[in-house]
Copies of this chain bind each other. A is one copy, B any other.
Amino acid sequence: MRVSRSFLPVLKESPSDAQIVSHKLMLQAGLVRQTAAGIYAWLPIGYRVLRKIEQIVREEQDRAGAGELLMPTLQSADLWRQSGRYDAYGPEMLRITDRHKREMLYGPTNEEMITAIFRDDVKSYRDLPRTLYHIQWKFRDEVRPRFGVMRGREFLMKDAYSFDLDEAGARLSYYTQMLAYLRTFKRLGIQAVPMKAASGPIGGDLSHEFIVLAPTGESEVFYDAAFEEFDWARDSLDYSDEAGLHGLFEQVSTTYAATDETHDEARWADVPQDRRRTGRGIEVGHIFYFGEKYSSSMGLKVSGADGGMVVPHMGSYGIGVSRLVGAIIEASHDDNGIVWPEAVAPWKVGLVTMRGDDAASIAAADDLYARLNAAGVETLYDDRDERGGVKLGSMDLIGLPWQVIIGPRGLAAGNVELKNRRTGEKLELPIDAVVGHLTA
């Protein structure tokens, strides 16, 4: 992508109205713009990151055997009356009346709708178990939206729903999603710790939050250092390995981790002093097992193997996709700007000419840009006739993993500079070696 043809509005000053660093950086680097309280437009850089996160979430859901569909944003109030939640939900539900005076709402979550869809088409035990998910915009009318996309009103969520014939099956679906979450966060380049949680308005009695550590986190967290040391997302574990999934859950359950909401001083005292980790955390995922709560209230039942009727056990599994953009920045930035993990970086490489008015530099950059594109290396090319220092400052702010810097002096010797954004390390190398170096 050429900067001269894109829409990448970088602000000179750090915006003073943003309270947390991720929000400041998202505004300054031109990832988002607020269009109403708690509602954001995703500009090209921000939307690229959002889509990369979404795709990793999707791939790990697919790998875990979940099927993707898409439910609409607006729902009928009647659907929520079937579960009893329409009156119970409170003012965070955005209620809408259409032109025919029908009561609608903007979905804050989809337990009711997926239960109704499943109920209307699935009649036999042979069609279970199933886990279905979608990645769709939700709305919660927060009384005081803040922290940018971390606590917005319109937000993108992945929500999955599992249907099983009994509790044992439902627990296995729960463990499967737990592993999928550990793998998803690992691929995103962040450390997310599963912590036993209260179920809240979803209901049920088995629930974990996935928490990313960040100084600006909303809750205090306590966990055993084992969560930093062990490869919880281990690739060797197959989803068809039931004993392995049980073992993973057992291990997660017996290793201490809790938010202030569920913190247990007695169990905490058992964690050796040098293994205790505390800090603040941001919730980026939440999983629930709630048994027959919705299937029973909404009349979902299927014929069983023995001819009787069975009420399926369900769970739901959320990941805050848009919130993750902010959470990743909270966990990965420095004084100069964002430092993207490579998996979610909007582009891998930023290409900069120090002198945008130097014909030799432009020709060399144009040629290298073409070769990087041909090699499939995602590149943002700052081809503007702008001072080199301004362009380098923007690149640091935007935070791509690598910068290729072309200056007249080095170019005269056939060289360019390659900078690693995270470490700051710089390397001078022949311009013809750049593509090889970045694809090695």
A-to-B contact residues, CB < 8 Å = 1, 5-7, 9, 30, 33, 35-37, 39-44, 46-47, 50, 65, 67-76, 79, 91-92, 94, 96, 98-100, 102, 104, 106, 113, 116-118, 120-122, 130, 132, 137, 139, 141, 143, 153-154
- Shortest CB-to-CB span from A90 to chain B, Å, is 10
Rounded to whole angstroms, the CA-CA distance of A89 and B72 in the bound complex is 23
Measured CB to CB, the nearest residue on chain B to A2 is B65
**A41 B71 Cβ-Cβ under 8 A:** yes
**A76 B35 Cβ-Cβ under 8 A:** yes
Rounded to whole angstroms, the CA-CA distance of A94 and B73 in the bound complex is 13
Find A117's partner among B41, B71, B116 (CB 8 Å cutoff): B41
**A37 B102 Cβ-Cβ under 8 A:** yes
**B72 A47 Cβ-Cβ under 8 A:** no
- Shortest CB-to-CB span from A169 to chain B, Å, is 14
Find A39's partner among B9, B74, B132 (CB 8 Å cutoff): B74
Kindly name the residue among A1, A36, A71 whose own CB sees the greatest number of chain B CB atoms within 10 A: A36
Task: Enumerate 27 A-B pairs (CB-CB under 8 Å) in ascending A order.
Answer: A5-B65, A7-B118, A7-B121, A9-B121, A33-B117, A35-B75, A35-B76, A35-B79, A35-B117, A36-B76, A36-B79, A36-B102, A36-B104, A37-B102, A41-B72, A42-B70, A44-B67, A46-B69, A47-B68, A47-B69, A47-B70, A50-B70, A74-B153, A91-B99, A94-B99, A96-B96, A137-B137
Residues of B within 8 A of A122 (CB): 9
Measured CB to CB, the nearest residue on chain B to A43 is B69
Rounded to whole angstroms, the CA-CA distance of A40 and B39 in the bound complex is 24
Rounded to whole angstroms, the CA-CA distance of A96 and B39 in the bound complex is 14
Rounded to whole angstroms, the CA-CA distance of A76 and B68 in the bound complex is 31
- Consensus secondary structure, chain A interface: mixed
Residues of B within 8 A of A118 (CB): 7
**B69 A99 Cβ-Cβ under 8 A:** no
Rounded to whole angstroms, the CA-CA distance of A70 and B153 in the bound complex is 16
Rounded to whole angstroms, the CA-CA distance of A67 and B69 in the bound complex is 27
Residues of B within 8 A of A137 (CB): 72-73, 137
Measured CB to CB, the nearest residue on chain B to A42 is B70
**A72 B154 Cβ-Cβ under 8 A:** yes
- Shortest CB-to-CB span from A314 to chain B, Å, is 14
- Shortest CB-to-CB span from A347 to chain B, Å, is 13
Measured CB to CB, the nearest residue on chain B to A48 is B68
The 6 closest A-B pairs by CB, nearest first: A9-B121, A36-B76, A42-B70, A41-B71, A91-B99, A99-B141
Find A41's partner among B36, B50, B113, B153 (CB 8 Å cutoff): B113
Rounded to whole angstroms, the CA-CA distance of A104 and B38 in the bound complex is 13
Residues of B within 8 A of A130 (CB): 5, 7
A44-B68, A47-B68 known; A139+B74 contact, CB < 8 A: yes
Residues of B within 8 A of A121 (CB): 7, 9, 30, 33
